Amino acid sequence: MQETTANQVAGNATSSFTEHLQRDRPDLLPYNRAMPAAAAATAPLQVPHATTIVAMSYGGGVLMAGDRRATMGNVIASRHIEKVFPADRYSVLGIAGTAGIAIDLTRLFQVELEHYEKIEGTLLSLDGKANRLGAMIRGNLPMAMQGLAVVPLFAGFDTTAGVGRLFSYDVTGGRYEEREHHTVGSGSVFARGALKKLWRPNLAEAEAVSVAVESLYDAADDDSATGGPDPVRQLWPVVYTVNRDGARRIPESELAAVAGRIIETRSAERREA
């Protein structure tokens, strides 16, 4: 009797918000939803898709940037969508794939990290955060099989090692640590090409911001689902840096200046690409 009670208490003790939901409120999870089998057989569901995210390391930390477009087939579903979010003080995540599920997964991940911090009184280690995100993506696998995949990119500052680190994922929740830089989403091939030429080790923060915006510009140039800087509506990519002082969103005014310079240089060159 004594032992079963003790086992029960230990079994119920969890610092994970997702585990708690799974046990008590499974209906609140963004995944774990039984989909009608007929839905899979017909054409893929028309839902907004979020596109290109780039991330790179620079001297002192990591940076992540995402364009502002979501598409639904050939239609632009949103010009204002934000796809890069702070996960907690020392990490950010960007999402590509089915926008609705991705945004809910982000919210769940943010609560997961905060919940752990409040229950345990300490921050989760960066590897711990990366593993939790992988588990959530794996949880979404049944939906991914039906065409509703979410692929995140995760970046954070490892406060114990004192370095910025970068993690990419596949739809099965596989977690891969990246060096230098990485891209995900429909325009990722083009952004990656640009990064290969523009990125150097130990970039200064301002240079890194410029490299990120320019690589997204190149992605938007060749991928119809990626939005470029929009001077008409004053829309710029969302850029976050993470370093020893924590995550910081680069202000709009700074991004407007960076994007303006890139457009100016390219116009002056009067070249095809």
Catalytic residues: 51
Using rule CB under 8 A, residue 118 touches another protein = yes
Instruction: Give least dist CB 116 to another protein, A.
Output: 10
**Residue 89 or residue 175: which is nearer to another protein going by CB?**
89
Q: Binding another protein by CB under 8 A: which of 25, 179, 270, 271?
A: 25
Using rule CB under 8 A, residue 115 touches another protein = yes
Binding piece for another protein, criterion CB under 8 A, among 33-41, 110-118, 208-216, 259-267 = 110-118
Using rule CB under 8 A, residue 6 touches another protein = no
Binding piece for another protein, criterion CB under 8 A, among 23-31, 57-65, 237-245, 263-271 = 23-31
Check residue 172 and give left, alpha or beta (phi > 0: left; psi -120 to 50: alpha).
Answer: alpha
The H-assigned helical ranges of the chain are 2-12, 17-24, 37-41, 99-120, 126-139, 141-145, 188-198, 205-222, 252-269
What residues contact residue 45 under an 8 Å CB cut-off, 6+ apart?
39, 146, 147, 148
191 in Cβ contact with 219 (< 8 Å): yes
**Residue 147 or residue 246: which is nearer to another protein going by CB?**
246
Using rule CB under 8 A, residue 21 touches another protein = yes
109 in Cβ contact with 89 (< 8 Å): no
Using rule CB under 8 A, residue 11 touches another protein = no
Can you give the C-alpha Rg of the chain in angstroms? 20
**Residue 13 or residue 41: which is nearer to another protein going by CB?**
13
Which spans of this chain sit near another protein (rule: CB under 8 A)? 17, 20-21, 24-25, 28, 107-108, 111, 114-115, 118-119, 121
